[in-house]
Amino acid sequence: MTGIVDIVNLKKNNTAKAGDILFLTKPLGVGILSTAQKKDLLRPEHITLARDSMILLNSIGYDLGRYLSVNALTDVTGFGLLGHLREMCEGSGLMAEIQSGSVPVIPEAWEYIALGCVPGGTYRNWKSYGTMVSEISDQQRAILCDPQTSGGLLVSVAAEKAEEIRSLFRENDQFFSEIGVMKEMKEGFPLIRVI
């Protein structure tokens, strides 16, 4: 046993609602930086970037569990952001629209994408769910499918209560970015639309 939770505070990844705002609590890019290190391409001044992201705890999840406005919650790990969002969409019977420019990225990761430091897991991830995602660029794919180790939380929040969650993040000095919205399924549209 690793802990006890009141059942009313238990959050799942398949209970998002249409109109929910999506938040992400850590920037992406850990897999890219780790691959750069394996290829011996990581610059010395970047050696701690992935580690520093991975050691940040997701303890805010405990607090998020107490809010009824948090409709769904999951962590972002090996399947990448799009993979975990896919599970949220499928389980909830919804689609998602992601603002590509709002997705947080460890800035140095872009340099290593240009050097070809994309993990093999990124390609496997895309192969498994790429048909469910709108057309995206190679750079977007490298980030949005990047396998994370100890990634952030993907939080689906009722739009009318989103400000209370923003306030919670700020009060706890928790990094966050608002990345998109959950929507009703539309025929002919992909499960995840990246704009």
The number of folded domains in the chain is: 1
Residue 66 located in a structural domain: yes
The predicted pLDDT at position 8 comes to 83
CA distance linking residue 156 with residue 71, whole number of Å: 6
2 in any annotated domain: no
H or E element, residue 70:
strand 70-75
Residue 98: domain span: 13-194
Alpha helices by DSSP H, listed for 93-119, are 109-114
Tokens of 187: 């025929």
Cα dihedral across residues 158, 99, 96, 31: positive or negative: negative
Would you say residue 134 lies in a domain? Answer: yes
Residue 67 lies in a domain: yes
Q: Is residue 5 part of a domain?
A: no
Strand duo 21-24 + 94-98: pairing: unpaired
36 assigned to some structural domain: yes
Residue 95 CA to residue 91 CA, distance in Å, equals 10
- Look-up of token digits 């998020």: 64
> What is the spatial distance between Cα 101 and Cα 88, in angstroms, rounded to a whole number?
21
Q: How far apart are CA 129 and CA 71, in angstroms?
A: 24
Q: Is residue 6 part of a domain?
A: no
- The residue assigned the tokens 């928790």 is 174
Residue 165 lies in a domain: yes
Average pLDDT per consecutive 10 residues, the chain (195 residues; last block may be shorter): 76 97 98 97 96 94 95 97 98 97 98 97 97 97 97 98 98 97 95 97
Which pLDDT value is given to residue 169? 98
If you ran DSSP here, which 8-state letter would residue 101 be given?
Answer: G
Q: What is the pTM of this model?
A: 0.94
Q: What is the CATH number of the domain that holds 38?
A: 3.90.650.10
Sign for the CA dihedral angle at 190, 91, 66, 60 comes to: negative
Phi first, then psi: what are they for 137, rounded to 5°? Answer: -80, 165
The whole-number pLDDT of residue 153 equals 98
Length of the chain: 195
